[in-house]
């Protein structure tokens, strides 16, 4: 399958405008909400963000913790860390991810 010049331009622009955010889940031993559903909702609402596994060197990392223990490891992360540990944090995360400062 080949792409037209217009399609190639669309994909080139799309890929350069996409921002990456690292994601890490806690162990899930005591979840108080559905972390996977929250992540899916964020991904749907933030189509310009590519969510990838968290790793050192990322500018922004999203930690999805199931309870207030917030046990997801973060000692190897360097950038801004946004922690969700209850459903009420979803809107805060959405606002932060919607800002254009995630690069």
Q: What is the pLDDT of residues 40-83, one digit of tens each?
A: 999 999 999 999 999 999 999 999 999 999 999 999 999 999 99
Whether 5 maps to a domain, the answer reads: no
Higher pLDDT, 64 or 7: 64
Number of domains in the chain: 1
Whether 6 maps to a domain, the answer reads: no
- Which pTM value belongs to this model? 0.77
Whether 76 maps to a domain, the answer reads: yes
Spatial CB neighbours of 57, under 8 Å, sequence gap ≥ 6 = 78, 79
Mean predicted confidence (pLDDT) in 17-26: 90
Lay out the sheet containing 19-25: strands in order across.
Answer: 49-53, 19-25, 60-64, 80-84
What three-state secondary structure class fits 4?
coil
Mean predicted confidence (pLDDT) in 17-28: 91
Q: Kindly report the CATH number assigned to the domain that includes residue 98.
A: 3.40.50
Q: What is the pLDDT of residue 15?
A: 53
Whether 2 maps to a domain, the answer reads: no
Q: What residues make up the domain containing 68?
A: 19-102
């Amino acid at each position: 399958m080949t792409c037209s010049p217009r399609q190639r331009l669309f994909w080139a622009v799309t890929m350069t405008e996409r921002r990456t955010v690292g994601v890490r889940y806690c162990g899930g031993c005591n979840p108080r909400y559905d972390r996977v559903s929250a992540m899916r909702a964020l991904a749907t609402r933030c189509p310009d963000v590519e969510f990838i596994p968290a790793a050192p060197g990322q500018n922004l990392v999203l930690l999805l913790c199931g309870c207030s223990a917030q046990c997801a490891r973060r000692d190897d992360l360097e950038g801004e860390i946004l922690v969700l540990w209850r459903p009420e944090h979803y809107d805060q995360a959405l606002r932060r991810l919607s800002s254009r400062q995630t690069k």
